[in-house]
Structure 1
Amino acid sequence: MAVWRVKFTKTKRDKLAQVLWILNWFSVLTGAILFSLGIFLKVELNKQEEMMADRDIHYVPNMLIAVGLIACAINFLGGKICYDCVDTNKFLRWKLIMLPYIIFTFFFTFCVLVGALMCYTMRGELEESLNLGLTQAMKFYKDTDTPGRCFLKRTVDILQIEFQCCGNNGYKDWFQIQWISNRYLDMTHKDVADRLRSNVEGKYLMDGVPFSCCNIDSPRPCIQQQITNNSAHFNYEHQTEELNLRMKGCRQALLDYFTHIMQSIGLTVLIIWLFELSVLTGVRFLQTSLENVLKQGDPDSESDGWLLENSFMETARTNLNIIKSLGKSNQIDDGNNGDPNINVPSTSIANYGPDNVPPKEAPKAS
């Protein structure tokens, strides 16, 4: 029994072909949207590439770019096919192409769905990449004289100001690294020498943060040095001074930013997938109804269109049998039809002559 059998008149078939022609052109635009979304996400990731570890997180934008380009080509061809299908005679030139086109488009729409799901599943890899990348960037914050790292301080400061964050997980991350270069430290000063000697690795650690961690909404001037020392500042309690510094870590701030972008892109791609699937369904109805018209021989007669000629179970069973038959045809025939009890005769070397040559048969009597 056919799945979703629908009866079409000549007028309905023509209208369906015209509507599908228009929808395929809209699908070309949706393909351009997919391509644009992939480019946008790739650019945003590249902006923060210095804050990310060397992880392969560009597979999502790359897939969106590829899917967008393929969508433009497929839907352009689909529009041409549907435009010609208004005339039954022109349908003959596309008859052999339409079924492979529908199968290929079906797998393509599945790729669009996978792209939408990938936008929601890359959060874990992105978080790990940001965690490692921000840790490395903070360690190299002081290396303003090192080639390849001289602009990293500026990048981190801009990041903390733009995203209103501080450190990797919070402002206390700066307490665990030396973020001031030795060239700006007075090594003859007792306090500096004591701090260097007190650390096993000889680093200058202190309870201070860069200026970019300051909260511009704080009612008092920003306190960057001796943050945990309440007696060093008048009328100050660091545990209650939440407006003094940015409390959110940059990893969480960037993760929230990219998550919002990817969720918006994922929702858009999901809507495009539903649209592409509906267009593909219409093309399938058009193909089957026109093929039935050709079988009847009357281009003006009514015809049935369907999604599947048989039920889902019957279709799956038929395809499975086809696959099995293809597997059997690739097996080598050993001549015994698969019966292990039939022995293939063999000639023993012991029956040969001294020169390992089979003896000649005696001539038959006439």
Structure 2
Amino acid sequence: MALLTVKFDLKKRVKLAQTVWFMYWFAVMAGVLVFSMGLFFKIELRKRSELMDNSESHLVPNLLILMGLLVCAVNALGGKICYDSLDPSKFSRWKSLLGAFLSGCVALNGLLLFTALLCFLTRIPLQFTLAEGLRNAVRFYKDTDTPGRCYMKRTVDLMQMEFRCCGSRDFRDWFEIQWVSNRYLDFSAKEVKDRIGSNVDSQYLMDGVPFSCCNPSSPRPCIQFHMTNNSAHYSYDHYTEELNVWRRGCSEALLSYYGGMMNTIGALVILVTLLEVGVTIGLQYIQSSLASLANPEDPESESEGWLLEKSVSETFTDITAKMNVSSSFEIPALTRVMFKGIFQDV
């Protein structure tokens, strides 16, 4: 017994074909949007690749770009099939391909759902990638004379100003590393000697942050040096006073930015998947209603369309039986080839 049977006359079939045709071309535009979002995400990752660990992957944006192209191609072909369904002479050439095309549409829906799931799960590896990459970026901030790291200071400063963040975890990260290049230190000065000699790594450490950590919204001039020394500043207490530097770490800020982007793209892909499911169901009804015409020579005759020709359990049983039959033919053939190779070796 067919599942979800619907009776059609010529007027209903034409209206269905026109509606599905419109949905297919709307889905083409959705595919262009998926492609554009994948390209945009890939560009955003490339722009800040210096701030990420070298192991960061472009699997998700590449998959989005591929799925966008597939959605455009499949839906353009589906739109052509729907348009030809209004003319029986043109539609006859598609009949032999419709079964494979519908199967491909179902597979495409599964791939879209998998892509959406990857978008939501990307936040987990991205968190580790950003944490490691930003730690290295802060550590290499001073290496303006080192090949390959000359622009790291500029990159980090622009990032901290754009995302309103400071350090990797927070502003205290700058207290733990030397972020002033030796080129700009007077090693004959007592203060420099004392700071370098006060730690085992012989680094020039201080309780200060780069200028890009300053919050321009603060009414007080930026206190970026001697941040933990209350006596160095008038009417200042770093324990109770709100510091006028960005308090949020850049790992959190970038993760929020990329995570929000991927959640938006994932939601978009789910909407595209629902649209794809809708056009696949519509095309199935068009195909079944044309195949069951009471009089194939009379296009105005009534017909029935269905979602599945049999019930769900019967359809599943048929698919399982076909898989078992195909495997029963393939396994003996593979066995014969293996034994033949063994005996030839002997």
Q: What is the TM-score of this pair, normalised by structure 2?
A: 0.92
What amino acid is aligned across from residue 222 of structure 2 in structure 1?
C
* CA shift for structure 1 position 294: 7.6
What is residue 325 of structure 2 aligned with on the other side? 325
* CA shift for structure 1 position 129: 0.7
In the aligned structure 1, how far is the partner of 2:332 from the partner of 2:109? 38
Contact 1:195 1:205 in 2 (8 A): yes
* CA shift for structure 1 position 297: 5.4
| Higher relative helix content | 2
**SS of 1:200 mapped into structure 2:** coil
Contact 1:57 1:122 in 2 (8 A): no
What is residue 210 of structure 2 aligned with on the other side? 210
**SS of 2:222 mapped into structure 1:** coil
What is residue 156 of structure 1 aligned with on the other side? 156
Per-residue CA deviation, residues 46-86 of structure 1 (Å, 9 max, x unaligned), is 22111111234321111111111111111111111111111
**SS of 2:32 mapped into structure 1:** helix
In the aligned structure 1, how far is the partner of 2:26 from the partner of 2:68? 13
Contact 2:175 2:208 in 1 (8 A): yes
What amino acid is aligned across from residue 130 of structure 2 in structure 1?
L
* CA shift for structure 1 position 200: 1.5
In the aligned structure 1, how far is the partner of 2:105 from the partner of 2:162? 43
* CA shift for structure 1 position 172: 0.3
* CA shift for structure 1 position 298: 4.2
What is residue 52 of structure 2 aligned with on the other side? 52
What is residue 316 of structure 2 aligned with on the other side? 316
In the aligned structure 1, how far is the partner of 2:177 from the partner of 2:85? 70
What is residue 299 of structure 1 aligned with on the other side? 299
Per-residue CA deviation, residues 107-159 of structure 1 (Å, 9 max, x unaligned), is 11221122222221110111111101100011110011111111110111111
What amino acid is aligned across from residue 66 of structure 1 in structure 2?
L
Contact 1:120 1:262 in 2 (8 A): yes
* CA shift for structure 1 position 296: 5.6
**SS of 1:53 mapped into structure 2:** coil
* CA shift for structure 1 position 87: 1.8
Contact 1:57 1:125 in 2 (8 A): no
How many residue pairs get aligned? The number is: 333
What amino acid is aligned across from residue 321 of structure 1 in structure 2?
A
**SS of 1:4 mapped into structure 2:** coil
In the aligned structure 1, how far is the partner of 2:199 from the partner of 2:284? 73
What is residue 241 of structure 1 aligned with on the other side? 241
Supply the RMSD in Å over aligned alpha carbons: 1.6
- Where do residues 3-152 of structure 1 align in structure 2 (5 Å cutoff)? 3-152=3-152
Structure 1 spans left out of the alignment, 5+ residues: 334-366
* CA shift for structure 1 position 225: 1.4
Q: What is the TM-score of this pair, normalised by structure 1?
A: 0.87
* CA shift for structure 1 position 191: 2.2
What is residue 343 of structure 2 aligned with on the other side? none
Per-residue CA deviation, residues 185-206 of structure 1 (Å, 9 max, x unaligned), is 1111222112222222211111
In the aligned structure 1, how far is the partner of 2:8 from the partner of 2:300? 10
**SS of 1:7 mapped into structure 2:** strand
Query: Once the two structures are aligned, what percentage of the paired residues are identical?
Result: 49
Contact 2:35 2:68 in 1 (8 A): yes
Per-residue CA deviation, residues 238-275 of structure 1 (Å, 9 max, x unaligned), is 12232421100011111111122122222222111111
Structure 2 spans left out of the alignment, 5+ residues: 334-346
What amino acid is aligned across from residue 29 of structure 1 in structure 2?
M
In the aligned structure 1, how far is the partner of 2:328 from the partner of 2:115? 36
What amino acid is aligned across from residue 123 of structure 1 in structure 2?
R
In the aligned structure 2, how far is the partner of 1:275 from the partner of 1:322? 30
In the aligned structure 1, how far is the partner of 2:313 from the partner of 2:161? 60
In the aligned structure 2, how far is the partner of 1:193 from the partner of 1:324? 80
* CA shift for structure 1 position 295: 7.7
In the aligned structure 2, how far is the partner of 1:257 from the partner of 1:331? 51
What is residue 229 of structure 1 aligned with on the other side? 229
